[in-house]
A and B are shown apart, each in its own frame.
Chain A
Amino acid sequence: MTATLRILPFLSWRRRPWRLVERNVLAYRRIWYIFLSGFAEPLLFLLSIGVGVGKLVGDLHVGGHLVEYRTFVAPGLLAIAAMNGSLLDTTFNFFVKMKYSHTYDGVLASPLTPRDVAVGEITWALLRGAAYSAAFLLTMLAFGDLRSWWSLLALPGAVLIGFGFAGVGLAATTFMRSFVDFDYVNMAMIPLFLFSATFFPLARYPAGLQAVIRFTPLYQGVVLERSFVIGDLHWTLLANAAYLVAMGVIGLRIASRRIGLLLQP
């Protein structure tokens, strides 16, 4: 019996989720060009809306600073890009791997756990999102839209937005039965995209709507990014950040549990 006893390296729960990140790197290595759209999309938005629409709209006041429309809208687009970037891998791609490719069935027969899968996929989504956000921030820098040294927090801010939406996206996906259900995700994302003070200042919305918007998830990210980039900081930003952290943490917990229930009945 002793002959079969082998000393196995200790694979701690801290390192296990990274194995899934490694797996995704292997999977995407062959289809790296799929990555490029994530860089292109927000830049096209910045050019068309920031530059194009900006010419028509003129300058805006943000917390006492007078800024060009492009400078105003760019952090909103950054927040949207961070949201979209993290939802791609945690909703649609995750669904395919879970329901159709049975990728995780094999993974879970190894030492990895459902929680490792959830943490791993979120980590991957954040890394991918961070790359897009960093590229977008460099473009903003080139345009002169980073008005303050607080802009250094814009990248961590984008990762935080990604975390919030990745957690919720992953958790929501575990409840989906078919691709039809993804229409609900789109239905939820379009109003967020349009009405999170992304394209106009909050004050321009009707008072009743303003109160609602203040509690929507993307708004938290837009406020954070805009404040960092323009250099207009308040203590209330901590509440916005806490909101996103809570989304991510609760989403992660629900997703871990649900993955276990679904894949290890």
Chain B
Amino acid sequence: MSGPMVAARALTKRFGAFVAVDGVDFEIEPGEAFGFLGPNGAGKTSTMRMIGCVSPRTAGELHVLGLDPAHDGPDIRARLGVVPQEDNLDTELTVWDNLMIYGRYFDLPRAEIRERAAELLEFVNLSDRRDSRVDPLSGGMKRRLTIARSLLNRPELLLLDEPTTGLDPQARHLLWDRLYQLKRSGVTLVLTTHYMDEAEQLCDRLVIMDNARIVAEGSPRRLIADNVTREVVEVRLPIEADLDFEAARLKRFGDRIEPLADRVLLYTDDGDATAAAIMSEGFEAGSVLVRRASLEDVFLILTGRSLED
């Protein structure tokens, strides 16, 4: 197949009068890791569900693997792997049977499924739970099983809606490793996440969604370079401080400032110089921190909101 894996033009989703996705355009290229970033309710899941052919679009154009979800849903889904935001494992079946039957939904021969299932359980560290029912598994284990299930049909396009939410750091890093491997083998990844480090680590390119629209697009590095200064100075304020007053006092030190609940961010190209200037103004050294700008800052500047949950 040549051409993009996913192409959306003026893609729109409405629930009644409510607009969940408002005419977004994007293209996802083969082999790429593409991210949707945005606050709660931005429309990420709604978009992912349209790509996954489990939610019809209201308007606009959408092509997945060169096909139209409105007509070719089953053919497209046969080639997708999906990790939905909410686990939907079959709670009446065991871990092993969940994989067996899912492979059958994709019409794989049983011997083949057995082989892949054993391998995937090994990968997500659940081999010792294969005969357990799904309900008693911990949240993170269910997540890992869902991820294993999504890989059974060796998908060309893997849709991951907040894949690592609920995973412990070790499981998270394990999953990142596996996603790298998949990417290297040519699988296209589409993911949503609230974790900036995850987005920066995994995504070649991402879009930031806010209020049903895409507000920025590019590689993590590009987005930072285009929207934020090189460095950020964080000034932590004591609890009793008057935020507005302190912000006004700090304003002249940065190109731009963002007051948060307990600290003020100053965007500047020379962090050390700014920090020194602030400290000479009487701010305590221990409360001033210089760091590189991150996607978090891009997000804050573009949406006026912090991504921290």
Q: Cβ of B15: which chain A residues have Cβ within 8 Å of it?
A: 265
Interface size class of A (residues with CB under 8 A): 20 to 34
6 A–B contact pairs at CB < 8 A?
A: A1-B2, A1-B30, A8-B107, A23-B104, A26-B101, A109-B82
Q: Does A27 contact B (CB under 8 A)?
A: yes
Q: Cβ of B90: which chain A residues have Cβ within 8 Å of it?
A: 23, 27, 101, 103, 106
Option from A9, A16, A110 in Cβ contact (under 8 Å) with B102: A110
Residues A11 and B156 in contact in the complex (CB < 8 Å), given A19-B105, A27-B92: no
Q: Cβ of B156: which chain A residues have Cβ within 8 Å of it?
A: 4-6
Q: Does B54 contact A (CB under 8 A)?
A: yes
Q: Cβ of A8: which chain B residues have Cβ within 8 Å of it?
A: 78-79, 106-107, 153
The reply to whether B74 and A102 contact each other, CB–CB distance below 8 Å, is no
The reply to whether B92 and A111 contact each other, CB–CB distance below 8 Å, is no
How far, in angstroms, from A39 to B31 measured CA to CA in the complex? 56
The reply to whether A22 and B101 contact each other, CB–CB distance below 8 Å, is yes
Residues A108 and B54 in contact in the complex (CB < 8 Å), given A4-B185, A9-B108, A22-B104: yes
Q: Cβ of A3: which chain B residues have Cβ within 8 Å of it?
A: 185-186
How far, in angstroms, from A101 to B92 measured CA to CA in the complex? 8
How far, in angstroms, from A6 to B80 measured CA to CA in the complex? 12
A3, A97, A101, A111: residue with the most chain B Cβ atoms closer than 10 Å: A111
Q: Does A139 contact B (CB under 8 A)?
A: no
How far, in angstroms, from A111 to B102 measured CA to CA in the complex? 10
Q: Cβ of A111: which chain B residues have Cβ within 8 Å of it?
A: 74-75, 77-78, 105-107
Q: Does A210 contact B (CB under 8 A)?
A: no
Q: How far is the CB of B142 from chain A (nearest CB, A)?
A: 12
Q: Does A264 contact B (CB under 8 A)?
A: yes
How far, in angstroms, from A11 to B153 measured CA to CA in the complex? 13
B77, B90, B93: residue with the most chain A Cβ atoms closer than 10 Å: B90
Q: How far is the CB of B251 from chain A (nearest CB, A)?
A: 47
Q: Encode B87-100 as 1/0 by CB contact (under 8 A) with A.
A: 01111110001001
How far, in angstroms, from A10 to B74 measured CA to CA in the complex? 11
How far, in angstroms, from A101 to B98 measured CA to CA in the complex? 13
Q: Does B254 contact A (CB under 8 A)?
A: no
Q: Cβ of A23: which chain B residues have Cβ within 8 Å of it?
A: 90, 93, 101, 104
What residue in chain A is nearest B182 (Cβ atoms)? A4
How far, in angstroms, from A101 to B2 measured CA to CA in the complex? 40
Q: Does B73 contact A (CB under 8 A)?
A: yes
Q: Cβ of B306: which chain A residues have Cβ within 8 Å of it?
A: none
The reply to whether B105 and A101 contact each other, CB–CB distance below 8 Å, is no
The reply to whether A264 and B55 contact each other, CB–CB distance below 8 Å, is yes
Q: Cβ of B220: which chain A residues have Cβ within 8 Å of it?
A: none
The reply to whether A11 and B74 contact each other, CB–CB distance below 8 Å, is yes
Q: Cβ of B86: which chain A residues have Cβ within 8 Å of it?
A: 102, 105
Q: Does B160 contact A (CB under 8 A)?
A: no
Option from B54, B92, B187 in Cβ contact (under 8 Å) with A103: B92
Q: Does A107 contact B (CB under 8 A)?
A: yes
Q: Does A61 contact B (CB under 8 A)?
A: no
Q: Does B84 contact A (CB under 8 A)?
A: yes
Q: Cβ of A55: which chain B residues have Cβ within 8 Å of it?
A: none
The reply to whether B102 and A106 contact each other, CB–CB distance below 8 Å, is yes
In chain A, residues 144-190, which have Cβ atoms closer than 8 Å to a Cβ of chain B?
A: none
What residue in chain B is nearest A11 (Cβ atoms)? B107
The reply to whether B186 and A4 contact each other, CB–CB distance below 8 Å, is yes
Q: Cβ of B89: which chain A residues have Cβ within 8 Å of it?
A: 106
Q: Does B23 contact A (CB under 8 A)?
A: no
The reply to whether A105 and B84 contact each other, CB–CB distance below 8 Å, is yes
Q: Does A222 contact B (CB under 8 A)?
A: no
